[in-house]
Amino acid sequence: MIMPYNTEFERRFSLSLSELYDLANRIIVAMQRDIADFAQFKILPANITALESLTEQFYNSLNDDMYKAEYSYAIQLRNQLRNELHYFLKRLAIAAKNVFKHEPSIYNTMALTKTAKLNDSEFVIEANNIYENAVHHKTKLEVEGIDAEFLTNFETKLTEMRAVMRTIDVTFNTREHKTEERIKISNTLYETLAKYCDYGKLLYEDVSPAKYNDYLLTPVQPGALKSPTNLIYHIKETTLTWDIVLHATSYVVEYSQDGEHFTEVYSGAEAFCIFTPPVEGWGYYKVRGRNSAGYGPYSTVLKQGYYAILPPPSNVTAERLPNTNDKVRIKWDEVPSATKYA
């Protein structure tokens, strides 16, 4: 079913967020100067105080660094825990094979098969099933070192994995909510400024050109743009994020398969976009801001791998280390988006 487009979360102005903030402060100063003239429209000092409060609320909504940091840390911890759980599963599978090699029906309940192809939720369910089967057969598995301590540590890692998955969901949804909240506040602020500017222009259109200009809903001049920073591709959510650029009214994201020929894949006002690469493997991303003066400089190009299911490493080679009889060096091609190898 196609969901209707929610215009509540669409920005209804073309200014950058920093330009909107600067404009609000400019209008506040002008209204404080002209408050006596605004009285005929029932605009009182209390209205200016309310506008100051709304402007401060808008300013506070701009910073989501805390949520981004918490989300990035949770992603790193998730990857670490999944690798640690994979070790437990691998060790348990070897033990089960040795103990139940003549009882395949039991061994198969603890065999390491398709876990690498599962998403996080499926992986945890599968790992938990294997854990419960190991607990059921722990007496026989103890001979292979699968003792109470091993199973307790296994269960602890499962609990930690569930907790970090909840943290990822909460922080991602919180950041989405903060973005929606920021859009709603900025629209309210702009609409409030537009109303007061209409009064100001009506008051001074034929009286004072200088004061009339103070109530124009345009920035004095577009600010210079800098390169976006902290460009990150979140694989699980297939989402690109970057830091807000001062004076940018919108952003353009470009993608390339080879790092040379880029194609625009996003143009919009928010500092994130959802994008699934058309092909698996390495991908290259860059973003730049834009305002009425044109485009700003590009960010540093982000090289990021993407696979829905990680393939095995290719071109694996082994060579004996010089002057040794029992040590080898193993090499393989890097797997895009892999964080560890085992």
Q: Left if phi > 0, otherwise alpha if psi is -120 to 50, otherwise beta: which for 130?
A: alpha
Beta strands at 263-268 and 250-256: parallel, antiparallel or unpaired: antiparallel
**Spans of the chain, pLDDT less than 70:** 1-9, 63-68, 113-117, 219-223, 308, 310, 337-339, 342
Give which of 153, 155, 151, 166 is closest to 78, Cα–Cα: 166
Pair of tokens at residue 115: 């876990």
For residue 281, what pLDDT is reported? 87
Does the pTM surpass 0.75? The reply is: no
CA distance 7 to 192: 18
What does DSSP say about strands 317-320 and 232-234: parallel, antiparallel, or unpaired? unpaired
The pLDDT assigned to 196 comes to: 96
Angle at 86 between CA 83 and CA 92, to 5 degrees: 150
Q: Residue 242's pLDDT is what? A: 93
Torsions phi, psi of 233, nearest 5? -105, 120
Phi and psi, residue 33, nearest 5°: -70, -40
- CA–CA dist 228, 80 (Å, integer): 28
Q: For residue 316, report the phi and psi dihedrals to the nearest 5 degrees.
A: -75, 130
User: CB neighbours of 26 closer than 8 A, spacing ≥ 6?
Assistant: 214, 220
Amino acid at 171: T
User: Any idea how long the chain is?
Assistant: 342
